[in-house]
Structure 1
Amino acid sequence: MEKIIARINELSRKHKTVGLTEEETAERAELRKQYLDNFKRNFRGQLDNIKFVEDEEDDIKH
C-alpha cells in the first residue's frame, strides 16, 4: 500500500508542475481506485468488529 500511495503522490506532484500524459492520468485513476477499495475494505472490517456494550449487557441479563 505504501508503494501505491507514493506513486499517487508522485503523479499528483507531476500533475501540478508539468502535467500528466493520458497513460499517467489513467494510472493515477486506477491507483486511486485501488487505494479507496482497500481503505473501504479495511474500514468495513473495523466496523464489523465493533461490539456494543448494550448488546453484551443484554446477553448477560438473559
Structure 2
Amino acid sequence: MIPILNRINELSRIERSIGLSDTEKVEQAELRTQYLQILRGQVFSTLLSVSIMDELGNDVTPKKLIDKKNANAQ
C-alpha cells in the first residue's frame, strides 16, 4: 500500500465532517499530487514489462514502447 494514502484518507474524512484548515488543504493537494506521481510511475513500470503478440505469436510491440524499454534498461 502507498504510505501517504492513509493521510489522504484521513484528510478526506476531516473535510467531509468538519472541513479543512488552509494548511490542511495545501497538505491534501500536495499529497494528492505525490500520489498521482506514484501511480503514474507504477503504470509506466507495468507498461515497460508488456509485450504485444498477434494471433500468430509474432511480437508486434510498438517501436515507441520498445525504445522506452531499451532506454530504461540502460
Aligned to 1:32: 32
Instruction: Give the helix-richer structure, 1 or 2.
Output: 1
Residue-by-residue CA offset, 1:1-47 (whole Å, 9 max, x unaligned): 54310000000000001000000000000000000000001101101
Aligned residues: CA RMSD:
1.5
Aligned to 1:59: none
CA distance in 2, matches of 1:8, 1:39: 14
- Report the TM-score, using the length of structure 2 for normalisation: 0.69
Greater relative CO (CA pairs within 8 A, separation 6+): 1
Aligned to 1:55: 59
Aligned to 2:43: 43
Residue identity over aligned pairs, in percent, reads 39
CA distance in 2, matches of 1:20, 1:3: 21
Secondary structure of 1:3's aligned partner: coil
Count of matched residue positions in the alignment of Structure 1 and Structure 2: 56
